[in-house]
Copies of this chain bind each other. A is one copy, B any other.
């Protein structure tokens, strides 16, 4: 089946490439470690030219063969590839932002093969503390495609820098970022807390739930700077084993993140998007914190990229037989 679009989800640490067919169906997909902070550096020939540019090299590895086979395939990309450190800077769009309309604002970079890569702009919120996203706006659009139009919802995108995005009638009206995943990683690797942790091999549900509960408790109101030390002291008092400490810390941090959501989140439908194991943790913690309307969405990036390509006229919708 001939492809209609190459869609790239190109972040800081990874690059996922999709070859999409009629209606946006995924014909083939690849995952590379060539995020914009981990680009390849070994020079090689691309389209007959000696090339040492990391973006070109990664792009060629991701989809060079697809373009050999179909040289006129349109290409769209979202994520940090559009940042100041990226391949080409796609300026941020201010909130409130109609996500479907981002297809009208793609930024073009011409690759060595002569193909234009269309980069989706990120979104910035400048009311109060500034906040930015790159890539999540596309996932939001992908989520919206599978839902009835209109209404309010809260989309949670857990990760190194978790985003919580408020959507009203297809517009991103507000979002927050929580550095939960990165904090978990640096504390586990580089702080005192990591010294007594051992990997358990499997999810320690009781320890995780306890962490969530502590974050919600009166102790939790002093803030995470205070409750963090309990990951150490509960070990000293033999209430947590070394194997339980990582999931306790995970539950504690996720619990504090959820405590930072606005009150109205309790009555708004919540949709989680992200890695399955991480979304399962958030779903569990949300249930324990009394958030009742929670569901999961899949394949949000590739669906969003397809929709943006349609909006930009880069590809055509499937024609009903």
Binding site for B on A (CB under 8 A): 124, 126, 128-132, 161, 176-180, 182-183, 186-187, 189-192, 214, 218-219, 221-230, 233-234, 236-237, 239, 253, 256-257, 259-261
Contact = CB atoms under 8 A, between A and B. Distances in A.
7 contacts: A126-B237, A129-B234, A130-B233, A178-B222, A179-B192, A186-B191, A189-B190
Given A237-B126, A259-B223, A229 B189 contact: no
Given A186-B186, A259-B223, A228 B129 contact: no
Contacts of A130: 230, 233-234, 236-237, 239
A70 B230 CA distance: 44
Contact of A227 (B129, B190, B229): B129
B229 A131 contact: yes
Nearest to A225: B178
Q: How many copies of this chain?
A: 2
Nearest to A239: B130
A190 B179 contact: no
Contacts of A186: 186-187, 190-191
A237 B129 CA distance: 10
A178 B130 CA distance: 27
A179 B228 contact: yes
A223 B223 contact: yes
A236 B191 contact: no
Given A129-B230, A179-B225, A225-B260, 7 more contacts: A129-B227, A178-B229, A179-B191, A183-B191, A186-B187, A223-B256, A224-B224
